[in-house]
Amino acid sequence: MVFGNRWEKDILYRKEFESLEKEMDNFTFIPVLSRENAGWEGRNGYVHAVYEEIFADKRPAKFYICGWADMLKEARQRLEAMGYDKKSIKFESYD
């Protein structure tokens, strides 16, 4: 799960996702912060670079994306450019 937020304080359900990561072998939680956060040791920037890196091998995958309309549009375009079919990309907008 690649989970983008602006600030560390905005990471919803962080403890729960971290617990799931410890309990489940097939679950990885990757929070990504788009704003500068002093002391943050995790990923920075936008989620696009992270999923492009993870799925650079073009392995079969399904993507569930939630966010603002502009982010969803960009994510769909990038995933399609990577070779993923529209049927493998599900989304929910909260604008």
> Which option is the CATH number for 1-45: 3.10.20.600, 3.40.50.80, 3.30.70.100, 3.40.309.10?
3.40.50.80
Helix (H, G, I), strand (E, B) or coil at 85: coil
5-58 confidence digits (pLDDT tens): 999 999 999 999 999 999 999 999 999 999 988 899 999 999 999 999 999 999
Cα–chain center distance at 24: 18
pTM of the predicted protein model: 0.88
pLDDT(95) > 80: no
**pLDDT value at residue 14:** 97
Sorted by where each begins, the domain ranges of the chain are 1-45, 54-95
**Sequence-distant contacts of 25-32: CB under 8 A, at least 24 apart:** 27/1, 28/1, 29/1, 29/3, 30/1, 30/2, 30/3, 31/3, 31/4, 31/5, 32/2, 32/3, 32/4, 32/5
User: Which element (helix H / strand E) includes 68?
Assistant: none
Mean pLDDT over 77-90 rounds to 96
